[in-house]
Amino acid sequence: MNDFNVLVVDDEKEIRDAIEIYLKNEGITVVQARDGIEALEKLDEQPIHLIVMDIMMPKLDGISTTFKIREQKNIPIIILSAKSEDTDKVLGLQIGADDYVTKPFNPLELIARVKSQLRRYITLGTYEGKRNFIDLNGLTLDKEAKEVAINGDSVKLTPIEYKIVELLMSYPGRVFSINDIYERVWKEPSYNAENTVAVHIRKIREKIEIDPKNPRYLKVVWGIGYKMEK
């Protein structure tokens, strides 16, 4: 999950630093804030795709900060709460938080909840870059950066290979004939293009598939063409 910024808001530096370590290991960029006021400032300074925020903080608490954020933005918010803060936790969810994690939290649970909210934000939410970012069960494509990755690991593709992957991933489940692929990618009429396209498909599979002979993503539909599995 590269190219995502998560804002971690907590008045305890140790907790902020620990969460940053967990998320950085997943390829996520972390921005820190000590309280709600600083969190609002960070939101104005750079793109933030998800917020992990404590409830009890000085200056501006997590409940008030969530309320202010929801006046303008719809990014996912995960609140951190102690067991003694159940009432505040419910209030946070009522005013717009998307999820919560109880302290002390399990790092694996926090990571799972962050990833789940990011996926939902990309596919169903108002993420501005969602049309330029495609995630097909771990195979991702960033149209702006012209990057393809598998489970977060960048894949080096030639320009033609990238164009083929971009075409197929932009329409998951749709079958493209060899002629369609050739004419859309090479921008010229297709003439005896079977071998040319097949060679590029084979090379792509070698780069994105664990077992190229039994592909998970790039499938052949015999007698018709190729598709990218949903």
Last residue of a domain, one of 97, 124, 151: 124
The whole-number pLDDT of residue 171 equals: 87
130, 122 contact by CB (below 8 A): yes
Q: Residue 47 maps to which CATH number?
A: 3.40.50.2300
The whole-number pLDDT of residue 126 equals: 56
119, 99 contact by CB (below 8 A): no
Q: Are residues 143 and 117 in the same domain?
A: no
The whole-number pLDDT of residue 124 equals: 62
The whole-number pLDDT of residue 103 equals: 86
Rounded Cα–Cα distance for residues 228 and 136 (Å)? 9
Rounded Cα–Cα distance for residues 151 and 208 (Å)? 10
Q: Residue 140 maps to which CATH number?
A: 1.10.10.10
The whole-number pLDDT of residue 18 equals: 95
Q: Are residues 145 and 120 in the same domain?
A: no
- Series of mean pLDDT values for 10-residue runs along the chain (230 residues): 84 94 91 95 87 92 90 87 72 84 89 87 60 82 86 90 94 92 92 92 96 94 92
Rounded Cα–Cα distance for residues 38 and 42 (Å)? 6
DSSP state of 105: P
Q: Are residues 222 and 200 in the same domain?
A: yes
Half-sphere exposure of 1 (CA within 13 A, CB side): 24
DSSP state of 151: T
What's the domain range around 172?
133-228
Domain tally, the chain: 2
Last residue of a domain, one of 100, 124, 148: 124
Instruction: Give Cα separations from 134 to 24, 27, 172, 219 (angstroms).
Output: 21, 17, 10, 18
SS3 category, 218: strand
Rounded Cα–Cα distance for residues 132 and 227 (Å)? 19
* 173's tokens: 């489940």
Half-sphere exposure of 94 (CA within 13 A, CB side): 7
Give pLDDT tens digits for 94-130: 888 888 888 888 999 999 999 888 887 776 655 555 5
Strands 218-221 and 77-82: unpaired
